[in-house]
Amino acid sequence: MLEPGAAHPVLTIDEARQFEAALFGGDETREWPAMQRAGRAIADAVLRDYRELGAFPENARVLVLAGKGHNGGDALIAARHILEKHPRAKAAVCFVFGEQSLRPLAWRAHRELAQAAPERVAVFDAAAVQKDGAGFDLCLDGIFGFQFRPSVDERVAQLIDSVNALPVCLRAAVDMPSGSFRADFTYATGIVKTPVLENPNSGRVRYLDLGFFSGSPCRDTATLTPAALAPLRALRSSHTDKRDYGHLFIVGGSRKYPGAVLMSVQAALRSGAGLVTAFVPESLAPVFAAQVPEAIWHGMAESPGGGLALEDLPVFRERVSEKTSGTANATALVIGPGLSRDRESFALVTEILRINENIPVVLDADALQSDIIASGKAPRILTPHAGEYQRVEAAIPDGAVVVRKGPLTLIEHSGRKYISPFGGPVLARGGSGDLLAGMIGGLLAQAPGALLHAACRGTVWHGMAADCLARAHGQHAVRTTQLLDFLPEVLRGVSQ
Ligand SMILES: NC(=O)C1=CN([C@@H]2O[C@H](COP(=O)(O)OP(=O)(O)OC[C@H]3O[C@@H](n4cnc5c(N)ncnc54)[C@H](OP(=O)(O)O)[C@@H]3O)[C@@H](O)[C@H]2O)[C@@H](O)CC1
Ligand SMILES: Nc1ncnc2c1ncn2[C@@H]1O[C@H](COP(=O)(O)OP(=O)(O)O)[C@@H](O)[C@H]1O
């Protein structure tokens, strides 16, 4: 189990309804402050996420699609905060079911928006949205919330389709995308509900914590929060040295894929691990040592195919339990980045796993083969992308922690599921997974008994750093390893 606050429950629609009924009891005087918090949180998150595109335009045009109820109210409050922060921005509000349909709190939110910026708020009907639709920088979809019951009225469906066709820079759905609305981001206010995670129109799901779950026990499915990183933010004890922060061994690399293992090592060094030793083909070791001198590089005999040869198994065995040379023995292993599909390398890592009884291991990339992941008894974390997961699914041993990587990464352990709502398509480039394996390995080396913690913390840290990278430099013109420069900022809470 993770520490309290590190993960908040994901609820079904019925559970969420019951939860909100218990929290507010249908009392508008209690609902209004929660709506205010939701609207402000959406505004802050949208403006933060907009940074992936660049600065929010001074003369921004915001389209608000408002339904009748709380979802519309949240969107209207968010629009007010955006207009307050950007004094030249304008809002076009489309009351999808007509202004008269607004429920009292949505009406109140509309009135406050109109009063806050009377010259900058206009009411658009569906025809006006279609006619004047080009040039919206932001669209807030507040048509349906999770009280939605199918089906969608034909006129509303048409409006949504026409908005989907508009060249809007960022489309944000409040709580869940309405009908076929195609969101870039969906902002789950207070509660993440299961259907949002399954909806292909949700885009990137952002959980906005409104304080509903502080202290609640975790459910079988939970969403990870930045609090998962809390232990990494604490001061280290003064009476420590490098041996107190673990020694990670990384085994990988080949002539075919030299870069992957180098990236894993760089990430491990940034994870706080005291020592990192890398076992790589001997032709690569001197070059890597010149580039990354902080790691200990160990050149291993090479197979004819340019992978790691079996012959140096005794050398590895000796090093893994060595205590005499001044360096501590290994506290965790990462095996796989850039290993390639060399048969001798597969034999080597299978043997390494057989002789290793206790040291926890992260298996990544080419080491994710059915025979390999089932070898030996040491505790293990597997980090497959969707293709690798398909390859090894049937062979995953009981008790393994599985980091199922993808646009939404899911960490599975003992029947529980933890979702990471961080990161985005800036990670869709070669090497992102190699960095993640190095980070998880480095965290595991520091706390070898805490596999689930290492997997969850590594994934959250990696995803949050990716978000910072995309906000600072955009999604396109960056290199994978630039993510590493944002790891300190995530822990230190600067400019997130
Ligand atoms: N700079 C370097 O040195 C780099 C080196 N690298 C190294 O490359 C090696 C090969 O790793 P790999 O993940 O590219 O492919 P692989 O084992 O063939 O996957 C199995 C099957 O899964 C699929 N598939 C692939 N990706 C998928 C995805 N994200 N999500 C879903 N599916 C996906 C794909 O099937 P397809 O879709 O092509 O039919 C494929 O057949 C490994 O050693 C790694 O460390 C990389 O880290 C990059 C940087
Ligand atoms: N569109 C995306 N949104 C969020 N995360 C992504 C996206 N694409 C890739 N990632 C993340 O990037 C990493 C890619 O891992 P992987 O495919 O193993 O890369 P590689 O083998 O090139 O190192 C994973 O952590 C995955 O979750």
Give 251-298 pLDDT, tens digit per residue. 999 999 999 999 999 999 999 999 999 999 999 999 999 999 999 999
Residue 372 maps to a domain: yes
Residues 72 and 116 in one domain: yes
Determine the 3-state secondary structure of 104 from DSSP: helix
Q: Which among 201, 222, 243 is the end of a domain?
A: 222
Nearest protein CA to atom 10 of ligand 2, as residue: 427
* Distance of CA 39 from the midpoint of ligand 2 (Å): 31
Predicted local distance difference test score (pLDDT) of residue 327: 54
pLDDT tens per residue across span 350-403: 999 999 989 999 999 999 999 999 999 999 999 999 999 999 999 999 999 999
Residue 116 maps to a domain: yes
Does the C-beta of 255 come closer than 6 Å to ligand 1?
no
**DSSP conformational letter for 245:** G
- Mean pLDDT across 289-315: 96
Does the C-beta of 64 come closer than 6 Å to ligand 1?
no
Give the pLDDT band (50/70/90) at residue 322.
low
Q: Which residue has the tokens 């009063």?
A: 115
* Distance of CA 55 from the midpoint of ligand 1 (Å): 34
Has residue 411 got a pLDDT over 70? yes
Going by their DSSP bridges, the two strands 221-224 and 7-11 should be labelled as antiparallel
Contacts with 107 (C-beta within 8 Å, 6 or more apart), sequence order: none
Residue 456 maps to a domain: yes
Q: Which among 170, 191, 222 is the end of a domain?
A: 222
- Mean pLDDT across 461-469: 98
Is 2 annotated in some ligand binding site?
Answer: no
Residues 442 and 484 in one domain: yes
Residues 254 and 363 in one domain: yes
Tell which wins on pLDDT, 40 or 320.
40
Contacts with 26 (C-beta within 8 Å, 6 or more apart), sequence order: none
* Distance of CA 431 from the midpoint of ligand 1 (Å): 10
Mean per-residue pLDDT over the chain, rounded: 94
Q: Where are the alpha helices (DSSP H) in 102-239?
A: 104-116, 126-131, 154-165, 194-198
Q: Where are the alpha helices (DSSP H) in 281-323?
A: 285-291, 313-320
Residues 373 and 470 in one domain: yes
Residues 138 and 268 in one domain: no
The Cα–Cα gap between 341 and 312 comes to 18
pLDDT tens per residue across span 28-37: 999 999 999 9
Q: Are 351 and 313 in contact (CB under 8 A)?
A: yes
CA distances for 448 relative to 58, 75, 272, 410, 458, angstroms: 50, 45, 14, 21, 14
Q: Which residue has the tokens 């600067």?
A: 494
Give the pLDDT band (50/70/90) at residue 328.
low
> Taking the CA atoms of the chain, what radius of gyration do you get in angstroms?
25
Residues 118 and 264 in one domain: no
Q: Please count the structural domains in the chain.
A: 2
Residues having CB within 6 Å of any atom of ligand 2: 365, 385, 405-407, 409, 423-425, 427-428, 430-434, 436
Has residue 470 got a pLDDT over 80? yes
Nearest protein CA to atom 11 of ligand 2, as residue: 427
Is 85 annotated in some ligand binding site?
Answer: no
Residues 306 and 178 in one domain: no
Residues 133 and 279 in one domain: no
Q: Identify the domain containing residue 454 by its residue range.
A: 229-492
Residues 244 and 329 in one domain: yes
Predicted local distance difference test score (pLDDT) of residue 377: 94
Q: Write the ipTM.
A: 0.95
Looking up residue 43, the CATH number of its domain turns out to be 3.40.50.10260
Does the C-beta of 366 come closer than 6 Å to ligand 1?
yes
Looking at the CA of 257, which ligand is closest?
1
Ligand 1 pocket: which of 250, 256, 257 to mutate (most atoms <8 Å of CB)? 257
Looking up residue 419, the CATH number of its domain turns out to be 3.40.1190.20
Residues 26 and 83 in one domain: yes
Q: Which among 206, 222, 238 is the end of a domain?
A: 222
* Distance of CA 172 from the midpoint of ligand 1 (Å): 31
Residues 217 and 292 in one domain: no
The Cα–Cα gap between 373 and 183 comes to 38
Residue 146 maps to a domain: yes
* Distance of CA 366 from the midpoint of ligand 1 (Å): 8
* Distance of CA 170 from the midpoint of ligand 2 (Å): 22
pLDDT tens per residue across span 214-253: 766 677 899 999 999 999 999 999 999 999 999 999 999 9
- Mean pLDDT across 41-51: 98
Predicted local distance difference test score (pLDDT) of residue 323: 58
The Cα–Cα gap between 459 and 266 comes to 16
Residue 1 maps to a domain: no
The Cα–Cα gap between 456 and 65 comes to 36
pLDDT tens per residue across span 120-138: 999 999 999 988 878 899 9
Residues 201 and 70 in one domain: yes
